[in-house]
Structure 1
């Protein structure tokens, strides 16, 4: 049974989500503030985090950054803020999905399932994926889900690593934004092509010597992106 860590200070919303996801056969762990969320994250090792932005003791964005600094667990933000800038900001700092309040329980469950399904598929594929060769100053450890640049580990979000993994396994292949969206998020999650551009920008900052003149992650104008060795 997959474990969901729900960090939500509105007890009525937390109860509704817990009951619905429980009926969908998830084990739901509830935290009412950021401090309790941090403690439960460390103790319970959840498979996915559902995180409200407005918490009594911290900003959900900062809490998302905290989790992402050491873990690639999928994180879904839920918030009453529905501005595009808010969604882009959440994706930029490490969230994997963003759901605006009010939302249907059915949609929440579908998105949670999508995140867990992709995480499980990635884990199942570890043993069957071929060892890929890449540039000498960049290396991907598919087992540990880590990117190394000049032998130094680089922190990435779940989605950033998934994009890089696809690049790494298919050097030279041109991926459209739509293809990358489907590989990292699934067709039943709310995403935009802008999300891919944000992830690509962040990856370039992390692996390229000059992000403005990328050597590895190339833009194919009018189509998408490709990874060159």
Structure 2
């Protein structure tokens, strides 16, 4: 079984290298980033299981980076900070961090917290891992492996693009995706402002899965923002 991958984000090379040594000694795979911007770039194309994220960094600090990461991803984040005030800790946790350590820290304690967070994350997501090929939202049934979609037990036929859009929204229930984000995630190309391709596809999906496409039950419009499938 492959070991988890931990992303270390800190503008201090000594910290990055120190944490990497301890992680590798425990058998983890590691990635390193010097800034929050670098970390976001890595997360665009690499699967990461946990992030060790420094707060005080140039360009984009850890709080900003954490907020951006939480827009799309839910892996554990442990924040590091040279500040020890309670308010800094509260701010870090409010923005989506799972744990917080103050510099200087004991590397062995950090390893213990990393292991704890990964165990907790796996336990909370075990149902997701087991049912990853099947998504159900009320009477909507989606089989990822077979590209089968059913409403009230009746199969509906979607094109590959329509299926990919539906899968994206269904996998991330409650999350709002802009037209631009949907296009870039599904078509894997840069979005052009005048392109109405996504809206056309959403309309076609609704015609196939909604009893009344004018009052959609599944794919909701968040005006001025984008689309979502609710929890």
Distance 1:145 1:108, change over 3 A: farther
CA distance in 2, matches of 1:15, 1:59: 20
SS in 1 for 2:115: helix
TM-score with structure 1 setting the length: 0.56
Q: CA deviation at 1:123?
A: 2.6
CA distance in 2, matches of 1:110, 1:73: 17
Q: Considering only aligned residues, what root-mean-square deviation do their CA atoms show, in Å?
A: 2.3
CA distance in 1, matches of 2:80, 2:37: 18
Is 1:3 equivalent to 2:5 in the alignment?
Answer: yes
CA distance in 2, matches of 1:145, 1:78: 28
Q: Which of 72, 86, 89 in structure 2 is aligned with 1:87?
A: 89
Tell me what 1:27 maps to: 29
The answer on whether the counterparts of 2:5 and 2:48 sit within 8 Å (CA) in structure 1 is yes
Q: Which of 50, 59, 62 in structure 2 is aligned with 1:60?
A: 62
1:78-106 alpha-carbon deviations (Å, 9 max, x no partner) = 01111111101111111111111111111
SS in 2 for 1:45: coil
Distance 1:118 1:145, change over 3 A: farther
Alignment of 1:12-161 (within 5 A): 12-126=14-128, 127=130, 144=171, 146=173, 148=174, 153=175
1:102-136 alpha-carbon deviations (Å, 9 max, x no partner) = 111111001111111111112324449xx9x9xxx
SS in 2 for 1:61: helix
Q: CA deviation at 1:60?
A: 1.1
The answer on whether the counterparts of 2:76 and 2:98 sit within 8 Å (CA) in structure 1 is yes
1:201-225 alpha-carbon deviations (Å, 9 max, x no partner) = xxxxxxxxxxxxxxxxxxxxxxxxx
Structure 2: runs of 5 or more not aligned:
139-169, 178-231
CA distance in 2, matches of 1:154, 1:38: 19
Q: CA deviation at 1:24?
A: 0.6
Q: CA deviation at 1:56?
A: 1.8
Q: CA deviation at 1:154?
A: 7.1
SS in 1 for 2:40: helix
TM-score with structure 2 setting the length: 0.55
The answer on whether the counterparts of 2:53 and 2:79 sit within 8 Å (CA) in structure 1 is yes
The structure that has the greater radius of gyration is 2
Structure 1: runs of 5 or more not aligned:
134-142, 156-229
Tell me what 1:210 maps to: none
